[in-house]
């Protein structure tokens, strides 16, 4: 019954003149506007599943994009894009003369009423958050369709964190259709269609460049949108690089502590724990990558290794300076320490102190000999030997302390050079 009624209305409208707007069927009165008559004309014998034609060939599709928001999920290696698609196509059978329809130049059609291209992301990450808006389609009197749906696309992105956190990522979005081979290569240039005034800036990423390229494959064509994104890394200076500088200063300062101070080992241990905490933080923040480990992470790893070696040096220095030695320092080592190297290592004060200590020891020996000489002219040999042995032991001990200090100074110079190389290589 309903189908017969609609068919009767349609046939009556086809036979009526354009000025007739009121239709009476039975007890019901229908008012047909110019838009109603136009929609009936456009949808008669219309197959919305068939690809429309223009000039007797399947119509081309022009595709453009206007980006609203873009972000990167680093752990999953995905790019999330919020945008508006701009899709145009022609259908010569959907045109009309505007004079016959009260100068009506365009109408809005529901997406379910007409054919529309099956646009999809060919490198989609398969995320359920992908979204394609079901907005209305604008049809002009010349048969041109315009569809501007909002989209949320999730695509895989090959990330390189080698320069993190000052990295720049290049992500590609391949938009096309596996069912269509007539996507026009005369696409809209993304640089011209991208409106940065309406772009909602990401808290971490900003677009520094973008480009579009038409790609033609064996069985399908698509448009490749390329985005070059740069990380906003102002916060990382305080979070990562300032602690790295402090770690370097603490590691170097431990070599200037007195050789007999066991606190050197404690200082190195504290710094190692801090570095381990940073490495755990990096492991939670960054994905596990096989080929492009961030240089910052490599720097912290090598710093932990250097601090471990520094702890071994501190233990050795502490042993040399606190153990009671009963012999002189080897002659060739003493010669090197007391030579030109003493000026480079700032050990001249230690050498002068040694000479002064020797003089004082000789004076002490003389006083001891005078003190233990009895009135009968008999010397207390045991007292003289004890004083002499004590002075010798002190001199032996000082030589080994001097060696321990020299080891600390040499290690300080080596570590300065190593940290400078690391800073240059890893851009710390």
Name the band, by pLDDT with cuts 50, 70 and 90, for residue 1. very low
% pLDDT > 70, the chain: 74
Q: Rounded distance, CA 171 to CA 153, Å? A: 13
Among the residue ranges 133-142, 172-181, 389-398, 404-413, the one predicted with the least confidence is: 389-398
pLDDT beyond 50 at 54: yes
Determine the pLDDT at residue 267.
93
To the nearest 5 percent, what fractions of the chain are helix, strand and coil? 45, 25, 30
Determine the pLDDT at residue 119.
84
Are the CB atoms for 371 and 306 separated by under 8 Å?
no
pLDDT greater at residue 328 or residue 138: 138
Name the band, by pLDDT with cuts 50, 70 and 90, for residue 390. low
Determine the pLDDT at residue 17.
40
* Mean pLDDT, residues 237-263: 87
Name the nearest CA neighbour of 161 among 91, 74, 270, 260.
74
Domain spans, the chain: 2-32, 53-231, 238-426
Q: Rounded distance, CA 332 to CA 325, Å? A: 18
Angstrom CA distances, 253 to 29, 250, 379, stand at: 97, 5, 51
Look at the domain 53-231 and name its fold.
Acetylcholine Binding Protein; Chain: A, (2.70.170)
């Amino acid at each position: 019954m309903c189908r017969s009624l609609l068919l009767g209305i349609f046939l009556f409208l086809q036979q009526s003149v354009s000025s007739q707007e009121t239709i009476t069927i039975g007890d019901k009165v229908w008012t047909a506007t110019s838009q109603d008559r136009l929609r009936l004309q456009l949808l008669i014998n219309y197959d919305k599943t068939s690809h429309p034609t223009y000039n007797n060939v399947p119509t081309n599709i022009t595709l453009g994009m206007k980006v609203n928001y873009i972000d990167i999920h680093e752990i999953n290696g995905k790019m999330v894009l919020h945008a508006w698609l701009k899709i145009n196509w022609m259908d010569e059978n959907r045109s009309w003369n505007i004079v016959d329809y009260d100068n009506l130049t365009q109408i809005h059609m529901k997406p379910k009423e007409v054919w529309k291209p099956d646009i999809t992301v060919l490198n989609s990450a398969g995320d359920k958050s992908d979204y394609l808006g079901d907005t209305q389609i604008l049809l002009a009197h010349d048969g041109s369709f315009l569809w501007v749906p909002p989209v949320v696309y999730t695509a895989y992105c090959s990330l390189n964190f080698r320069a993190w956190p000052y990295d720049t990522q290049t992500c590609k979005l391949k938009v096309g259709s596996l069912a269509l081979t007539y996507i026009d290569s005369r696409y809209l240039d993304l640089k011209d269609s991208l409106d940065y005034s309406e772009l909602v800036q990401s808290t971490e990423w900003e677009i520094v460049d973008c480009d579009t390229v038409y790609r033609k494959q064996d069985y399908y064509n698509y448009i490749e949108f390329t985005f070059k994104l740069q990380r906003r890394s102002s916060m990382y200076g305080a979070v990562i690089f300032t602690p790295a500088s402090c770690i370097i200063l603490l590691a170097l300062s431990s070599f200037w502590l007195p050789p007999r101070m066991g606190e050197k080992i404690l200082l190195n241990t504290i710094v190692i724990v801090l570095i381990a905490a940073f490495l755990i933080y990096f492991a939670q923040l960054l994905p596990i990558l096989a080929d492009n480990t961030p240089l910052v992470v490599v720097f912290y790893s090598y710093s932990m290794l250097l601090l471990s070696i520094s702890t071994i040096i501190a233990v050795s220095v502490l042993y040399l300076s606190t153990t009671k030695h009963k012999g002189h320092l080897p002659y060739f080592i003493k010669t090197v320490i007391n030579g030109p190297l003493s000026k480079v290592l700032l050990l001249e004060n230690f050498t002068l102190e040694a000479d002064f200590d020797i003089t004082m020891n000789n004076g002490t020996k003389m006083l001891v000999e005078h003190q233990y000489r009895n009135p009968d002219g008999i010397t207390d040999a045991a007292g003289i030997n004890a004083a002499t042995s004590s002075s010798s032991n002190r001199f032996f001990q000082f030589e080994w302390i001097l060696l321990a200090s020299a080891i600390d100074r040499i290690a300080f110079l080596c570590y300065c050079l190593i940290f400078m190389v690391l800073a240059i290589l890893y851009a710390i």
